[in-house]
Amino acid sequence: MRGSSPGFDSGKFALCALVLCAGAALGQSPPQHEVFIPNPTPRQPDLEKVYDDNPADKKKQEALSIQNQLRAREIWLESNQILLLAQQLQQEILSDKKSNSMTANAAKAGRIEKLAQSVQEKMKVH
């Protein structure tokens, strides 16, 4: 071969270049195409679900509403009792009268604690 250096084979060079280019091309993954599916044809809403006039369901909803109102009323009443007892206990403790027995104050504190636990449980129900 003329003009080539000894030990250089152009056929081997071309083969190596082809293998390198092919390897580089295989290393790259083809671009991923996202598939876009349009929304299906809009449909009319199911009127039975939207305007369900089942009388049994209405009665259940009314009963639940009444139960929730009663529960909220009980929580409100017990919370007011806690507040009243706590204010009375604070006044008795801070008063100059030492005639109040510790057992009476402890009993009042116990009553406050029981009411607080009752309110907490009623609030957890729903």
pLDDT in tens, 16-70: 666 666 555 555 666 678 887 777 777 777 777 777 777 788 889 899 999 999 9
pTM over 0.95: no
Backbone dihedral angles phi then psi of residue 97, each to the nearest 5 degrees: -75, 125
Task: Kindly state the helix (H) or strand (E) to which residue 76 belongs, with its residue range.
Answer: helix 55-94
Q: What confidence score (pLDDT) does residue 7 get? A: 60
Task: Kindly state the helix (H) or strand (E) to which residue 113 belongs, with its residue range.
Answer: helix 102-125
Q: What confidence score (pLDDT) does residue 85 get? A: 94
> Quick check: 115 and 81 in contact, CB under 8 A?
yes
Residue 7, sorted as left (phi over 0), alpha (psi -120 to 50) or beta, turns out to be: left
CB neighbours (10 Å) of residue 67? Answer: 12
- Per-residue model confidence as pLDDT tens digits over 65-76: 999 999 999 999
- Per-residue model confidence as pLDDT tens digits over 83-126: 999 999 998 888 866 666 788 888 999 999 999 999 999 988 65
